[in-house]
Amino acid sequence: MPLCKIKLLLFALAALPLNIFAVSYYVDALRGSDANSGKSPEKAWESLDKVNSAPFAPGDRVLFRAGNVWRGQLRVTCSGNAQKPLLFGAYGKGPRPRIDAAGGYQDALLVRNAQFVELRDFELTNHGDGQATRRGLHLVADNIGTLKRVTVSGLYIHDVNGTEKETDNGGIIFETHGDLVPSNFDGLQITRNIIWKVDRTGITSRSYHWKRTHWFPSVNVVISDNWVGDVGGDGIVPWATDGALIEHNIVQGANERAGCANAGIWPWSTDNSTFRLNEASGVKTTKDGEGFDSDYNSRNTCFEYNLSHDNDGGFMLVCSPGDRKREENVGNIGTIVRYNISKDDHARTFHVSAAENTLVCSNAIYVEKGADLQLVLLSNWSGWAQDLQFANNLFHVEGTAAYGHEIGGSDDGSYIIGPGWGPAKGVRFSGNRYDGEHRNKPEDDSRPCSPAPIGFDDWPGPQFDPSHPEQFDSYLKKHRTWMQKLMKRQFKHDVNCGRKPQD
């Protein structure tokens, strides 16, 4: 071939799309065969074993036929690249393809040391005999360095009966091990998933890097638009992250079976987390039992435009032990709680224990008729709160609200309080509005400058039945719109999810 034609051919090949050589593989449990090439629906593979042993390349798509069921475990250990992610998903019409581990594996879907991977539109279950470590999806970075751009979307995870003794089992768990090579996720996105009837946790993480002695957090983590319900323990808990965004998630029913301290949506050992437009309700017991929590070894956590209601333990816990080792645990510093609504929460509204530099401002708290709760409780966790400010909040009480510090407690997680703030230092109230009956009301050093009470004529908001996952996309859209309208009505300004309001 003449040299000029060779050059023209090379130029033409270089101009082709980057994924031109990527392959689509099809998997059909009913009509496929592992002897096939897998490269068309008519020549689909059959088994998970065939998929698990295949050497996929960047840009490949591995598609499972809708409506089919596979027993066992799907494993992903291959990676894509920045230009050509590797996709595992569905094809055809019907319910999501289902991976049923049936209690025979710890994980229905295991992704280990893979990056630039997209996981979309699977149904995952893992129900077996007795309590054991079981998960729907397990994402692992194991002494590998930084894994980039893993996307998890459209999963329907249900009936995972793990153990209540450990938090790292349940729906979606992302985990980092770094004792040899510091490892984390960069750009992990967990979006638009349904997690129902799982033990112990809906969405959470575990990390070797949670201690400040070897701090190497995951970054650019987004957990958004997920529905979590009927969870044995915690709802959504990021660990060892910096700058995570947890936005528009709905937790309905947590701490259902664990019998220990759990809450709805909260961080553990994180920096600079933002929790926005989330709804948490139906968290059981007063062993914690709050809708939201800013917790251990966390700095600069912001909760804004969230809705908490009908939680046994109340609205918000802010805590960390006071006798911390600074090289391991910095405590809880700089939490901001603003523009949130608490409606008909029980037991206590704000519970603060040994946290520092906490600001609670411009929230709207509604206490229902007949309730007698602790609106502000300060307790001792090897130390007491320091520099705690309540400013410009609405405390609209139709029952009775009390304020004070811990003088006793019981095994069920409830507290006996006395007036005043005990050994806590720097507690200040300013510009708050106090409607109704308040016991031991704190001194407030300025005129009220709080949100005004609103009606709840469209309460409750849109509801979702997880037994009908096909209705989820419509529900999410309606729920986000309802939440934004509710927050705008309460706080009289637009709720722009990409921009924080001015401080």
Q: Please tell me whether residues 96 and 136 are part of one structural domain.
A: no
The answer on 256 and 182 residing in a single domain is: yes
Confidence at residue 326, expressed as pLDDT on a 0 to 100 scale? 65
Same domain, 90 and 140: no
Output the CA–CA distances (angstroms, integers) from residue 3 to 6, 29, 441, in the order listed: 5, 50, 90
Residue 408 included in any domain: yes
78 and 139 fall within a common domain: no
Residue 42: give the domain boundaries: 18-103
Residue 53 Cα distances to 21, 56, 74, angstroms: 20, 9, 10
> Residue by residue, what is the 3-state secondary structure of 192-240?
CCEEEEEECEEEEEEEHHHCHHHCCCEECCEEECCEEEEECCCCEECEC
The CATH number of whichever domain residue 43 belongs to comes to: 3.30.1910
> Residues 69, 206: one domain?
no
Q: Which of 4-8, 76-80, 322-326 has the highest mean pLDDT?
A: 76-80
**Among 55, 83, 103, residue at a domain's last position:** 103
Q: Is residue 44 part of a domain?
A: yes
Tell me the torsion sign for CA atoms 257, 261, 263, 266.
Answer: negative
The domain tally of the chain equals 2
In whole angstroms, give the CA distance from residue 247 to residue 274: 8
Report whether pLDDT(222) > 80: yes
Does residue 501 lie within any of the structural domains? no
Which residues have a Cβ under 8 Å from the Cβ of 457 and sit 6 or more positions away?
none
First to last CA, the chain: 69
DSSP 115-173: -SEEEES-EEEE--SSS---EEEEEEEESS-EEE-EEEES-EEEEEE--SS-SS-EEEE
E strand or H helix that includes residue 191: strand 189-191
Residue 498 has pLDDT above 60, yes or no: no
CATH number of the domain that residue 261 is part of: 2.160.20
- Based on the domain organization, do 333 and 477 belong to the same domain? yes
Q: Which residues contact 81 (CB under 8 A, 6 or more apart)?
A: 58, 116
Q: Is the pLDDT of residue 38 over 90?
A: yes
pLDDT bin (cut points 50, 70, 90) of residue 494 is confident
What pLDDT does 323 receive? 82
Task: Establish if 111 belongs to a structural domain.
Answer: no
Distance CA 341, CA 363 (A): 6
| Domain identity same for 61 and 201 | no
Q: Is residue 433 part of a domain?
A: yes
Same domain, 215 and 344: yes
446-482 pLDDT tens trace: 999 999 999 999 999 999 999 999 999 999 999 999 9
Residue at 124 is within a domain: no
pLDDT band at 3 (very low <50, low <70, confident <90, very high): very low
CA 461 to the chain's CA centroid: 21
Phi/psi at 242 (5° precision): -130, 120
pLDDT digits (tens, 9 = 90+) for 395-422: 999 999 999 999 999 999 999 999 999 9
95 and 239 assigned to the same domain = no
Of the candidates 88, 103, 118, which is a domain's last residue?
103
**Where are the strands (E) in 323-420, listed by range?**
332-333, 336-338, 341-343, 348-353, 356-361, 364-367, 372-379, 386-391, 394-409, 415-418
348 and 223 housed in the same domain: yes
Residues 263 and 320 occupy one common structural domain: yes
State the CB neighbour count (10 A cutoff) for residue 498: 7
Q: Among residues 53, 121, 427, 344, which one has the least CA distance to residue 45?
A: 53
Say how far residue 345 (Cα) sits from the centre of its chain: 21
489's enclosing H/E stretch is helix 472-491
Tell me the longest C-alpha to C-alpha distance in the chain. Answer: 94
Q: How many residues does the chain have?
A: 503
Task: Kindly state whether residue 500 falls inside one of the protein's structural domains.
Answer: no
Q: Quick one: 388 and 261 in the same domain? A: yes
Range 328-347 average pLDDT: 96
Q: Are 38 and 25 in contact (CB under 8 A)?
A: yes
Alpha carbon distance 453, 342 (integer Å): 12
| Helix, strand, coil content of the chain in percent (nearest 5) | 10, 45, 50
For residues 58-70, give the mean pLDDT. Answer: 98
